[in-house]
Structure 1
Amino acid sequence: MLDYFGVWFKLKKKKYDMVINVVQNSSSGRLSTKVARARYKFFGEKIELLEKQYSDYNHMAKNAIYNLRYYLNMLGIEDKKTAIPVLDIKVNDKELAQGKDLLDKLVKNDKKTIGIYTFATGEKCYSEEWWANVYERLMQRFGTEYNIIEVLPVENVSQIAFKAPSYYSKDIREIAGFLQNLDLFICADSGMMHLGSAVTSPLIGLFSVTDLNMYTPYGPDKIGIDTRKMSYDQIMDQVQRSLN
């Protein structure tokens, strides 16, 4: 609790040029914006004009940018209406080479590789039965031409009972370099999904609980799917499209 209140004290201690609350429904975000000392404060209110103008306005990564551009335009700074930048962790050549070396040691062949991440927190985590069905179909349909490997979470758990070769690391940048060497990464809505969204490899995000419109991965070759509306075969068809 002392650490928590210490953060609020620090907000008052320092003066900022601009403060932006990036989460619309965050009461603590709005309160901290109010407490902070700044000339310009953007509280993250929903702007109906922008909601009508942009179909992806409510996406969590884009909403604050649309709002900021709108407010800056009110201050006389022209909104050039360029596309929202994609996430980019900027894997460097050394990290990419290290990731390839790690992958090569894991699969020991020249086939392309599909990576899966079977973990997520709370209700976002698919059951072992669901992942067993997905893994079986991946092996049946793609196992001849592709390696299927599993990226493990820090909890070191597997929803497929460690049936696939697995990779594990606590180093965010090492993981990013590894993921960028995959030909497709499949994962539920999670921190690992957003990390996968920040590299150049194709990605399929799996959604069954959280709002697809708010959290879906975006950018070239990134897609989110609502698995409640798709059969296993339809999911495999999407895997094929992403690989293509």
Structure 2
Amino acid sequence: MTRSEIPLSVTVPIVIDHDVRPTHRHLLGVGELPPRDIFRILLLRPNHRLGNTLLLTPLLTELERRYPGAEIDLVTGCEAADDVFAGFRQVRHIHQLTRRPGHHPVHLLRTLLLLRRNRYDLAIDSTRGSRSGRLLLFLSGARHLLGLPSSKRELREGGSAWQTALAHAPSHFSLDGVYALRCAMGLPFMAQDAIWPPMRIHLRAEEQVCGRALLTDLLGHAPDGDHQVIALFPNATGNKRLGGEWWLALADALKAANPRLSFIEMLPAHGQSQLQLRFPAFYSSNVRRMAAVLAQCHGYISADCGVMHLACAAGVPTLGLFTRDNLTRYRPRGPHDEALCVADCAPAEVAAAAAPFLHALPR
């Protein structure tokens, strides 16, 4: 095995001194997290993707509500984390891991030692299924460890209380950590559905003004009541991506059914138009500038991707187009958001299915 092939789960035990390595500790059980005496919180999501980072924001909102006197540190691999979490008043420090932390053992060791010196009251692995997140949780040295049980051993140790709780768990990825926190605090299952915190990026008033000015410049005129501006982001990774010709056909079908629509194209990181520059195009490497422009649009349409979650967090009505069977887990979940499964669907079919979403857009 070469160094580039060494996973985090192998690297961490190698680089950590035996005197520092923690003994096995259990996850918090249902109702075991105290409502007070929690002041130093560590939130773990060692992932580099923008979408997965934005999906943490509901948990941050929940922590600010449940523990308003606490400070929160985060461990992330996302380079845009500072921009995403700006405006969350209790975030103190963001520990930035490299995209592949197992490839940089010295940096990883320094981060782990710093985490342990902070002596956190609570560390949270924010989602199920992340082996690196769970490993960092047990290495954090925190007084209380929180995460939804996922392995057979964790389910066995959690007992019937966690098994009952998991039967009521919400399906959306962004609510894993929120639900784990509420269960650990002993909140009744039947009261869980009342209010789920939304995904959110906190834009300042001056950023909103700048976003409106940028959109006005793109359109050549201020947004008015005669047209509804729809932002398109025709890019995604792997088999989530729909081709440029498919998107152009979709835009034509949407326009034919809704003559009042006008479109702008949000460009991906490589800065190349996917729609042959047919529509005004906007590029920015700064996610807050992107969010500020999106927040001024009437609606947003894209495949499942990080920018879809950014649009949702910015508060613009969002329509997500899914080619995989993970719609329930990752769909945009704002009050005016919708999601469609478009696998093997022609653009005209998708345009017809999108009609209720477009009809409900603000005028």
Q: 2:331 aligns with which of 205, 208, 216?
A: 216
| 1:145-171 alpha-carbon deviations (Å, 9 max, x no partner) | 121110112211232222211111122
Distance in 2 between residues matched to 1:17 and 1:159, nearest whole Å = 48
- Mapping of 1:64-143 within 5 angstroms? 64-73=177-186, 81=192, 82-109=194-221, 110=224, 111-142=227-258
1:27 aligned onto 2:142: no
Distance in 1 between residues matched to 2:231 and 2:358, nearest whole Å = 12
Q: Which amino acid aligns with 1:85?
A: P
SS in 2 for 1:37: coil
Q: Which amino acid aligns with 1:13?
A: R
Equivalent residue for 1:9?
Answer: 113
1:203 aligned onto 2:318: yes
Q: 1:50 aligns with which of 146, 165, 173?
A: 165
Post-superposition offset of 1:182? 0.8
Pairwise CA RMSD: 2.2
SS in 1 for 2:133: helix
Post-superposition offset of 1:35? 0.7
* Contact 1:95/1:177, CA 8 A, preserved across alignment: yes
Fraction of identical pairs, as percent:
26
Distance in 2 between residues matched to 1:44 and 1:51, nearest whole Å = 8
- Choose 14-23 or 224-233, whichever is displaced more: 224-233
Distance in 2 between residues matched to 1:78 and 1:51, nearest whole Å = 13
Aligned residues: 238
SS in 2 for 1:113: strand
Distance in 2 between residues matched to 1:48 and 1:97, nearest whole Å = 48
Distance in 1 between residues matched to 2:353 and 2:289, nearest whole Å = 28
- Choose 124-133 or 164-173, whichever is displaced more: 124-133
| 1:157-200 alpha-carbon deviations (Å, 9 max, x no partner) | 23222221111112222221211111110011111111101122
* Contact 1:197/1:217, CA 8 A, preserved across alignment: yes
| 1:4-24 alpha-carbon deviations (Å, 9 max, x no partner) | 343333333331110111121
1:169 aligned onto 2:284: yes
SS in 1 for 2:143: strand
Post-superposition offset of 1:78? 6.7
* Contact 2:229/2:264, CA 8 A, preserved across alignment: yes
Q: Which amino acid aligns with 1:194?
A: H
Distance in 2 between residues matched to 1:71 and 1:169, nearest whole Å = 40
Distance in 2 between residues matched to 1:157 and 1:66, nearest whole Å = 40
| 1:111-144 alpha-carbon deviations (Å, 9 max, x no partner) | 22111001122332222232232233233333x3
Distance in 2 between residues matched to 1:20 and 1:116, nearest whole Å = 35
- Choose 77-86 or 35-44, whichever is displaced more: 77-86
TM norm structure 2? 0.60
TM norm structure 1? 0.87
- Structure 1 residues 92 and 237: CA distance shift in structure 2, 3 A: farther
Post-superposition offset of 1:3? 2.3
SS in 2 for 1:140: helix
Distance in 2 between residues matched to 1:215 and 1:91, nearest whole Å = 23
| 1:203-222 alpha-carbon deviations (Å, 9 max, x no partner) | 00111136212211102111
SS in 1 for 2:301: strand
Residue ranges of structure 1 left out of the alignment (5+ in a row):
none
* Contact 1:180/1:199, CA 8 A, preserved across alignment: yes
Distance in 2 between residues matched to 1:14 and 1:60, nearest whole Å = 28
Query: Looking at CA atoms only, which structure, 1 or 2, has the larger radius of gyration?
Result: 2
